[in-house]
Amino acid sequence: MSLDQRELRDVFGCFATGVTIITAREEDGRPVGLTANSFTSVSLDPPLVLFNLDRGANCADAFAEGRPFAVSVLRHDQMAQSNHFASKAEDKFADDGFDWTEGENGCPVLDGALAQLECTCDSLHDGGDHWIIIGRVSRTAREDGAPLLFYRGRYVHLEGEW
């Protein structure tokens, strides 16, 4: 059975997600990053998270097994950062206009993010046209605020609690 890719993408988009920016450093120390909404917790003990990375991403090599990376969970007012890191720009940290600091593991974390996780790539798994990357969390931080959400191909606002 063959599935229409556009229809499949639209169906996948029915699942509302938070938005993250995942960062790492290339072998030469250059910071790299990408926007990902395919991020989730895996385990509390040990502390594990996962995200999916397009095999064709220009920064895929920076996320090799044993390498550090960081996750910045975006706040509702960080759409510009999300769009910037979703672009195909080669150097997303050149004149980016966004404030960030270096985490304890050496990877950039975005200032003002709702949450930050510093991780080390524990394992990579085949996921078709993506890598499934499992990260072991070594440090976390969080702030108050509302999340940036993505639903059906666009950003949406959290209306409030039930």
Residue 160 has pLDDT above 70, yes or no: no
pLDDT given at position 121? 97
Residues 83-99: what's their mean pLDDT?
86
Query: Strand, helix or coil at 81?
Result: helix
Residue whose C-alpha is closest to residue 70's, from 143, 136, 147, 144: 136
pLDDT given at position 28? 94
Q: What is the mean pLDDT of the chain?
A: 92
Q: What is d(CA 66, CA 121) in angstroms, rounded to the nearest whole number?
A: 5
Residue 127 has pLDDT above 80, yes or no: yes
Residues 6+ apart with CB under 8 A from 159: none
Residues 140-148: what's their mean pLDDT?
95
Residues 41-68: what's their mean pLDDT?
94
Residue 144 has pLDDT above 90, yes or no: yes
Residues 23-50: what's their mean pLDDT?
96
Q: Residue 161: which pLDDT band, with cuts at 50, 70 and 90?
A: low
Q: Look up residue 27 and give its amino acid.
A: E
Residues 6+ apart with CB under 8 A from 6: none
Of the chain, the percentage scoring pLDDT greater than 90 comes to 77
Query: Cis peptide before 46, with omega less than 30 degrees from 0?
Result: yes
| Total-model pTM | 0.92
Looking at CATH, the fold of the domain delimited by 5-156 is given as: Pnp Oxidase; Chain A (2.30.110)
Neighbours of 72 (CB within 10 A): 28
Residues 44-49: what's their mean pLDDT?
97
Q: Residue 162: which pLDDT band, with cuts at 50, 70 and 90?
A: low
Q: What is d(CA 134, CA 116) in angstroms, rounded to the nearest whole number?
A: 16
Residues 130-146: what's their mean pLDDT?
96
pLDDT given at position 63? 94
